[in-house]
Structure 1
Amino acid sequence: MNDVVVARIGKPLGLKGEVTVRVHTDLPQERFAVGAVLATDPADRGPLTIRGARMQGMIQVLAFDEAHDREGAEALRGTTLLAPADAVEEDDAWYESDLLGLTVVTVDGAIVGQVSGLQDRPAQDLLEVTLVGGGTAYVPFVEQIVPEVDVAGGRVVIDPPPGLLELGED
């Protein structure tokens, strides 16, 4: 069973060991339940046990049994939180590791390039695509534009609106 990234710890918040996190899961309520134990990268900073989880505006805030003050929270900055890939099933969810290297084709079958990254954004994720002719395009990872992801077949099918592939060219 492979571990997947579910969050990356940011800066401390307050004096009681809370930290902000950048969420990399569609189901934070399940992944960050009180008592959940998460592996870490680097491994020597964990495992970490969730003591508390809350939202502050649009920001996810976590507290861990292993960090009770600001100094402990600061020591966790930059730590990646990991969970087993199948611990919580996420429908229609793909991890960056699943997508990297997949061939990107249009609905008409034209080869566009290759997936080189997945950028986590507040409004929507973006597929980073290295274009066949050089440069990079950023494709909104939404069903209307990315109607098919075929990991087993090694491809992602896109239906880009006119001009989208030219927007991000280097």
Structure 2
Amino acid sequence: MAEPQKSVLIAEIGAAHGIRGEVRVKAHTADPLAIADYGPLYDNRGGIFRVKSLRHLKDDMLVVTFEGVTDRTAAEKLNRTKLHVDRSALPPPDEDEFYHVDLIGLAVETVAGEAVGTVTEVVNFGADDLLDVRRPGGTSVYVPFTRAIVPTLDFSAGKAIIAPPEGLLEEGGEPDEEETP
């Protein structure tokens, strides 16, 4: 079975834990133990992972045994595997909430109606989320994903409306800095 078309990252496998095939798993769900509630999990290559057992370790970290993983050697091979579920397996988000995958493919326009591009990814390099917006010419620009800069998400129209700060949409995507001698 192939990876779902509209998948949501819900966990990442870390280091092996012990000698019986257990692994540490970092959950990206509100309730870490809920990763077992969504059915089979998938990796980027279409591999299927079924939770056999799990227990809470700390915070968002779990110790998980997957079906078919019975020793430390097999568990070590799974390190850094990202686990996904099909978007349809997740509960509907609350009002004014959404999943990042719901943003992918939205057309991006300025508040003045100027076409900017299409959201291709939501990334976070440690501070805040950024929308990776592919411009019509093939270049990309990172748009800070804040309510001030992205005041409107219209999922029914398939649009994100942005109020870009000055210089964001200029060639190079960054405001010009003063040159130093």
Aligned residue among 155, 159, 163 for 1:159: 163
How far has the Cα of 1:107 moved from its partner?
A: 1.2
Q: Secondary structure at the match of 1:164?
A: coil
Q: Which residue of 1 aligns with 2:78?
A: 76
Runs of 4+ in 1 over 6 A off after TM superposition: none
Matches of 1:131 and 1:89, distance apart in 2: 29
Q: Which residue of 1 aligns with 2:104?
A: 100
Residue pair 2:118, 2:134 contacting (<8 A) in 1 also:
yes
Matches of 1:22 and 1:34, distance apart in 2: 9
**TM-score using structure 2 length:** 0.68
Q: Which residue of 2 aligns with 1:46?
A: 49
Matches of 2:94 and 2:16, distance apart in 1: 29
Residue pair 2:13, 2:83 contacting (<8 A) in 1 also:
no
Return the index of the structure with the highest Cα Rg.
Answer: 2
Task: Give aligned-pair identity as a percent.
Answer: 29
Residue pair 1:107, 1:159 contacting (<8 A) in 2 also:
yes
Matches of 1:131 and 1:118, distance apart in 2: 15
Q: Which protein is richer in strand relative to its size?
A: 1
How far has the Cα of 1:94 moved from its partner?
A: 2.9
Matches within 5 A, 1:5-154: 5-12=8-15, 14-15=17-18, 17-21=22-26, 23=28, 28-30=29-31, 32-33=32-33, 36-38=36-38, 39-42=40-43, 45-48=48-51, 49-55=53-59, 60-66=60-66, 70-77=72-79, 78-82=81-85, 84-86=89-91, 89-154=93-158
**TM-score using structure 1 length:** 0.71
Output the aligned Cα RMSD.
3.3
How far has the Cα of 1:97 moved from its partner?
A: 3.5
Residue pair 1:137, 1:166 contacting (<8 A) in 2 also:
no
Instruction: Report how many residues are paired.
Output: 159
* Compared CA separation, residues 99 and 74, structure 1 to 2 (3 A): same
* Compared CA separation, residues 18 and 52, structure 1 to 2 (3 A): farther
Matches of 2:125 and 2:96, distance apart in 1: 17
Question: Structure 1: 5+ residue runs without aligned partners?
Answer: none
